[in-house]
Amino acid sequence: MVTTLSPCWYCSGLVRQFNIGAVVIGESENFVGGHEWLEELGVEIIVLEDPACTTLLKTFIDEHPELWHEDIGL
């Protein structure tokens, strides 16, 4: 699985449920989901910390905080 940001706990549960063996994460600076838990369970986790992904998400959060907080549940 490839994702821009660390998977939320719901998505992390789905990774586990469907036995996805590896997750490539663009960045985990703006949001740290369940990727450490998945790694503990043996899922291969690759965190790129790509500056473009970090900037993309940071810009979205700054410009649309109401959408971000509604979606992520903060």
Asked whether the predicted pLDDT for residue 74 surpasses 70, the reply is no
- Report how far residue 74's alpha carbon sits from residue 69's, in angstroms, rounded to the nearest whole number: 5
pLDDT of 13-58, one tens digit each? 999 999 999 999 999 999 998 999 999 999 999 999 999 999 999 9
pLDDT band at 60 (very low <50, low <70, confident <90, very high): very high
Answer CATH for 2-72 from 3.30.1490.20, 3.90.226.10, 3.40.140.10, 3.40.50.2020 = 3.40.140.10
- Where in 1-74 does DSSP place strands (E)? 2-5, 22-27, 44-47
Domain segments of the chain: what residues?
2-72
pTM, two decimals, is 0.85
Res. 11 pLDDT band, cuts 50 70 90:
very high
